[in-house]
Structure 1
Amino acid sequence: MTDLILPCLNEVEALPWVLRRVPPGWRAIVVDNGSEDGSPELARELGAVVVSEPRRGFGAACAAGLAAAEAEVVCFCDCDASLDPALLPPLAELVRQGAADLVLGRRRPVVRGAWPLHARAGNAALSRMLHRRTGLRLHDLGPMRAARREALLGLGIEDRRSGWPLEMVVRAADAGWRVGEVAVPYLPRAGKSKVTGTWRGTWQAVRDMRAVLHAPPAAAVVREAAS
């Protein structure tokens, strides 16, 4: 079994499509981050496990989902229909077979406007800063990813806002993990983005992530990802 963690804030429009696309035999964990549109109720009706995380923040939702997960390998994906959960098995299999410790989905927009210019610019800036900080050459720091649950817990990720995804990669690099990318199509999201829908939201996220990059390496010894 693989657990799929889906942070959720007012995604009632996207949930039916997203949950229909969860691979057979996987468990969908929808982490409700304070929705007011009936998202948690709909997710339960559609068969997902629903976890409530009242502390607002993408990282808070991801951490709550990781704490609730039980599978050896866990995956993350946005809950806004911009990424297809049905494409996650190859990422999870690379981790399961020991070919990589952390695999990210490299977003490739399929239509104009799926990935706004300001969001792509912020992502490119962070990728450059990540390379200077860790030596990793990644094209994207998107939310679709796969890793072993216990190893992720061992990283001790502290950010509970927009810096969570980046801190995961930084700490993984510091721990000597093998980090890979798999290209995945990027679709127009359903509804309005809570983070990168505007220049202001994008650069707030960049500021959160810059703080992660400027933090000193974690002193704690993390567990081997492939153990």
Structure 2
Amino acid sequence: MKKPVIFVIIPVFNEEKSIGRVLSEIPRDWVKEVIVCNNGSSDKTANVALNAGATVVHQADRGYGNACLKGIQYIQQKPVQEQPDIVVFLDGDYSDFPAELPVVVAPILEEDFDLVIGSRLLSGKAEKGSLTPQQVFGNWLATFLIRNLYNYHFTDLGPFRAIRWSSLLQLKMEDRNYGWTVEMQIKAAKQKLRCKEVAVQYRKRIGVSKISGTIKGTVLAGYKILYTIFKYI
């Protein structure tokens, strides 16, 4: 089988203490290019990423989705023959385990799935305290609604995920902030993509979360996730 071309997209905002560790643990024999999407960081995140061998693109407009969309735009500007077969998304805060990338892409390569979600809840190996009570409840509520409204079973909205590049383009992603992950899963369900979850490990992030680490971020994220779920019915 032809070796697939895999790109990794990592949205970041002020992750200078963690991004180097993330990049050092990505299995580079599997990945052709790592794209760090710098979302207006005021620290040395971009320099650390460049020195670690990543491609850095800049998106001044804040928002998780904005950063991811910038990474997609960068790939689209490449000649078609240089574009990837698979795109992997993961966070830059060192909460994911980058070395598990082969586990996340395996169902696409071996079982012909389109989208694979790394579920932090399937393995039972999430480090204590790595998921806040509001994250656990939010994941449960969101996946419960997706299951009942869209008839697709997920357990998590985890950031560590892999998707065929052709499928990602087909989804026509739009969300610019907190609704990015759930939008991808809902659109995949509506378009009947073949989806699967795999168990992944999860640990306490380095630094404070810009979303779950603040009351404002938690409320806004919860609202946007619910809004997105009902928007696409």
TM-score (norm 1): 0.91
Aligned residue in 2 for 1:149: 165
1:105 to 104, 107, 118: 118
Aligned residue in 2 for 1:65: 71
1:38 to 38, 41, 44: 44
Query: Unmatched 5+ residue regions in structure 2?
Result: 76-82
- RMSD over aligned CA atoms reads 1.4
1:4 to 5, 8, 25: 8
Aligned residue in 1 for 2:58: 52
CA deviation after TM superposition for structure 1 residue 35, in Å: 0.3
The superposition leaves residues 7-60 of structure 1 with CA deviations (integer Å, 9 ceiling, x where unpaired) of 000001111210001112312110000000110011001110001111111011
Letter in 1 for 2:86: V
The reply to whether residue 19 of structure 1 matches residue 23 of structure 2 is yes
Residues 120 and 126 in structure 2, CA contact (< 8 A), matched pair in contact too: no
The superposition leaves residues 152-192 of structure 1 with CA deviations (integer Å, 9 ceiling, x where unpaired) of 11111111111011111111111111111001111010001
User: Secondary structure of 2:120's match?
Assistant: strand
State the identity as a percent: 35
Residues 118 and 199 in structure 1, CA contact (< 8 A), matched pair in contact too: no
The count of residues paired between Structure 1 and Structure 2 equals 217
Residues 87 and 184 in structure 1, CA contact (< 8 A), matched pair in contact too: yes
User: Secondary structure of 1:185's match?
Assistant: coil
CA deviation after TM superposition for structure 1 residue 90, in Å: 2.2
Structure 2 distance, partners of 1:13, 1:216, is: 37
CA deviation after TM superposition for structure 1 residue 199, in Å: 4.1
Structure 1 distance, partners of 2:107, 2:212, is: 29
Structure 2 distance, partners of 1:86, 1:143, is: 15
Letter in 2 for 1:46: A
Letter in 2 for 1:56: R
Query: Unmatched 5+ residue regions in structure 1?
Result: 218-227
Change (3 A) 1:161 1:72: same
TM-score (norm 2): 0.89
